Structure 1
Amino acid sequence: MDLEHLNKTQTVLLTLLVSFVTSIATGIVTVTLLDQAPPEITQTINRVVERTVEKITPEIGSQAAAAKEVTVVVKDEDLITDSIEKNKGTLVRILATPENLPEVSPDVVALGTVIDKEGHAAVPRSIFAEGMRYSAVLASGNEVSFKILNLSSTSSVALLEFAKIDSSQSALTFPKSASLKLGQTVIAISGLTRTAVAIGIVSGLEMGEGKDATSTVVSMIDTNINPRDALPGSPLLNIFGEAIGIRAVSLPETGTAYIPITIVLQEMRAVSAQAPKSN
């Protein structure tokens, strides 16, 4: 057939036929190439298609706004600063003065950390010595006396009850799981007269015997935090602001040991169980 002798109708039909055949051929080639293409390319194409459909659909349908999914990135730095802000009000400073030298200005020998809403605080028991008089300075700056609730206990933790506690004094929060991992980031809050912080990692876990002879529990936490940066009793936190330990009085003094918070809570439960029940 001579193309020059085709009328208009025949020319249009021929053009449509060629276009149809070309479209089918293009589709076959495209599908074949996509089947052979790496996953990264197909994922990119799928994203483009999804985004195109997402933009066109609101115009065709009702005026309802398209739902958008927003991903919020939380940095470790933000978590750490939030943890410090949340827990700096839990500290109390333990003062000591020789009983035979009452005119001597008291020294800060340790930190206590408030562990419940009643205002009880935990400190390493080994900070106390014979011949010394002790008091505490609350977060508000008020100096108060205290008594040791578990005086006869053999635990490494002493629990304090203050003569008066400020309503502004906050308490620690604790993790739901007691699991600790080597290398996890930890924060120690300390300071003789003002709040200071030190950041490090868990460098070692000392294991001890659990409630029965067949189980073991963490009996001491080691960190790489410089011991000069954390007073005895300084709380050790994870990046979510939960307490995982308090600084022990290490021997030698260059040690970096922390008493696990599980021991503190266990001692608090024992004291609560022995307390007389009110009618």
Structure 2
Amino acid sequence: MDQLSKQQLILLALLVSFVTSLATGIVTVSLMDQAPRGVIQTINRVVERTIEQVSPQEAATGKAVINSAEQLGLVIKNVSASIVKIKDQSKDQIIGLGAIVTGRGVMLTDKALISANGAEAVLADGLNIPISVVQSQINGDIVFVAPRVKITPTPVFKAISLGDSTVLGQSVFSLSGTSTLILGHGLIIEISPSQNLSNSQPTLIRTSIRSLNTLPGSLLFDLEGRAIGLYAPSFSSQDSLVFFPLKGLRTVIPVLR
């Protein structure tokens, strides 16, 4: 033993421990074979009750995770029906996104997307609708648009819900993409004043969502599916998407006659 190195002593100890455990297992199995039936039944009942006490907690945790994922999937499906793609009529290509905010077809999007060349909104069902501006922020980036002509039969406009509450650390998600919608998920990591915005929009919402070719007009949502922000490209980076808050926006949505 004195001639063994420290590593050899450790290996020897592990070998002895393994052999001891193996011998203990063999003896236990042998004793169980020889034990009376009543003793074996008692041991089995103890093991079963132990499993029953532990399993519900683990099952509940797993179920909660599954339900949370399923719920987010349902929220995204519901929200997607209200998202529109903005198409430049002169180029016949998708240049951004927007969202339906009233059942009469009023939509909001980024002001920069609406040009003199004309624009169309592509609904979730693929219907193309020519749109025009009905109201625009003077010192902001939000514009309200609506169908430029009467559509027959009248399309079903599914209005999105607007939210007012934003807190630091809040879980949020965004949707963007041209052909298919891409999910971005993260947290609100900063709610900060911006020197470049008017008093009507005093803050910016910075998130941990990374840019995935995010389009202008993309919206930020809370986990209930309420729209809480409009993508702000000029303030965003590859590692952090920034959004203009939509707080209080429902009070200024135009009403179509």
TM-score (norm 2): 0.62
Question: 1:133: how far off?
Answer: 3.0
Correspondence for 2:160: 172
Q: How far apart are the structure 1 equivalents of 2:157 and 2:127? A: 11
Correspondence for 1:96: 88
Which residue type is aligned with residue 240 of structure 1? E
Correspondence for 2:78: 86
Q: Runs of at least 4 residues of structure 1 off by over 6 A?
A: none
Q: How many residues align?
A: 189
| TM-superposition CA deviations, 1:192-246 (whole Å, max 9, x none) | 012221111112112369xxx9xx9753211122223431111211111111112
Q: Percent identity of the aligned residues?
A: 20
1:79 is paired with a residue whose SS is helix
Correspondence for 2:217: 233
Q: How far apart are the structure 2 equivalents of 1:256 and 1:203? A: 10
- Gapped runs of 5+ residues in structure 1? 1-69, 99-104
1:83 is paired with a residue whose SS is helix
Question: 1:121: how far off?
Answer: 0.6
Q: How far apart are the structure 2 equivalents of 1:266 and 1:154? A: 17
Correspondence for 1:205: 191
Question: 1:153: how far off?
Answer: 3.5
TM-score (norm 1): 0.58
Correspondence for 1:114: 100
Q: How far apart are the structure 1 equivalents of 2:186 and 2:100? A: 23
Q: How far apart are the structure 2 equivalents of 1:191 and 1:94? A: 11
Which structure has the greater CA radius of gyration? Answer: 1
Q: Is the 8 A contact 1:87 1:170 kept in 2?
A: no
The answer to whether 1:139 aligns with 2:127 is no
Identify if the C-alpha distance between structure 1 residues 217 and 153 changes in structure 2 by more than 3 Å, giving closer, same or farther: closer
Q: Is the 8 A contact 1:222 1:256 kept in 2?
A: yes
1:155 is paired with a residue whose SS is coil
Question: 1:187: how far off?
Answer: 1.0
After superposition, residues 1-279 of structure 1 pair within 5 angstroms as 73=64, 75-98=67-90, 105-129=91-115, 132-151=117-136, 153-162=138-147, 163-164=149-150, 167-175=155-163, 178-207=164-193, 219-251=203-235, 254=238, 256-262=241-247, 264-268=249-253, 271-272=254-255
Which residue type is aligned with residue 158 of structure 2? S
Q: Is the 8 A contact 1:188 1:236 kept in 2?
A: yes
- Gapped runs of 5+ residues in structure 2? 1-59
